[in-house]
Amino acid sequence: MNKIIEQITSKLNNVPKSTLQALIGAVVATVIVVFAVAFFMGGPSTPQEQFKETIKTVVSTDKYLDKMASGFKFSKSKKELLKNHYKELFDDEMIDYLTKELDKKGLFANKKENKNQSLWLATSMQIFNALSLQGLRRLTPEDREKSMVFNRYLVKTLSPRDCKMFVNGDRRLFASSSFQSGSARAFEKMTDEEYAGYLSSLRNAFKAEIRDNPKRVEVTEGQKEKIQSLLSDAIDEELNKQPSGLKARLQRSADDLDRANPVDACKFGRIIYDAAASITNPEDRDLVNKILLTD
């Protein structure tokens, strides 16, 4: 089983990064639309000030925040959580950071205003993606657990085909509309507390990378061996809960996830995340979360 676990975790290593990149891309894409509507045609005298003032206007104006939250069929309480997320995310520290990064790239020097806007926004999205991916390695155990909650819901809301692609780390999935709708359903199924925790972990990943604090978490070779053993034992326990016929099918699918039928591959993927969640010792569970989220 350990050899199978090694292969599976190798596939899954790419999944959280790609997932988060796609989700952050979607979040920023929504901001881009609203940003374009709110963009100042006059006002501040420099492009840097123009950029800053527009972002501040967007995140402090209810009508713009409502537009950013309207892309999801959320309850009123979840929409309020998302709006508050934008307010907290785009604070002075984040805006100053973005402005400096765009300035370093020389993007405020272009005289063509329409081109400026698209460059500023596209580059901001790239910066967000990079920050989110790098910041995953800086999360606390509590934040890692909050981030893992989303993946557990996601494998239960994606279609079997998309779920198999997710388990296999197939990057073609993350640009698809079916993935976005599956992600939205996962958010809808989360409790308000879980959703708030997930958004908080995203903000913390961004801010930790900006501040270079806390330091990045690295998984040692010795820890990888322990993680494989922990996850193997936990998966065995989850498999033993299944009817014998299904258990045999899932074990065969684990041997070759690429060729497994989507339903079985997806069910085995769900077992992986259920197994990780079932580890009762907090330190051991965090070890497994580390490799599933960051390695």
Cis peptide before 262, with omega less than 30 degrees from 0?
A: no
d(CA 116, CA 39): 11
For residue 194, the one-letter residue type is E
Q: Which two tokens stand for residue 295?
A: 């390695």
- Residues 25 and 122: their CA atoms lie apart, in Å, by 10
Helix 113-135 / helix 92-104 crossing angle, nearest 10 deg: 120
The whole model's pTM is what? 0.85
Q: Per-residue confidence of the chain (295 residues) as pLDDT tens digits? A: 655 666 666 666 656 555 555 555 455 555 555 666 666 545 667 888 888 888 888 888 898 888 888 877 889 999 999 899 889 988 999 899 999 998 998 888 866 555 566 677 678 777 877 787 788 889 999 999 998 999 899 999 999 999 999 888 887 887 788 888 888 899 999 999 999 999 999 889 889 999 999 998 888 989 989 999 999 999 999 999 999 999 999 999 988 888 999 999 999 999 999 999 999 999 999 999 988 887 5
CB 205 within 8 A of CB 143: yes
Q: Which residue, chain included where needed, has tokens 């698809």?
A: 176
Cβ pair 238, 230 in contact under 8 A: no
d(CA 57, CA 36): 12
- Residue 131 C-beta-side C-alpha neighbours within 13 Å: 27
Q: Are 273 and 152 in contact (CB under 8 A)?
A: yes
d(CA 58, CA 20): 23
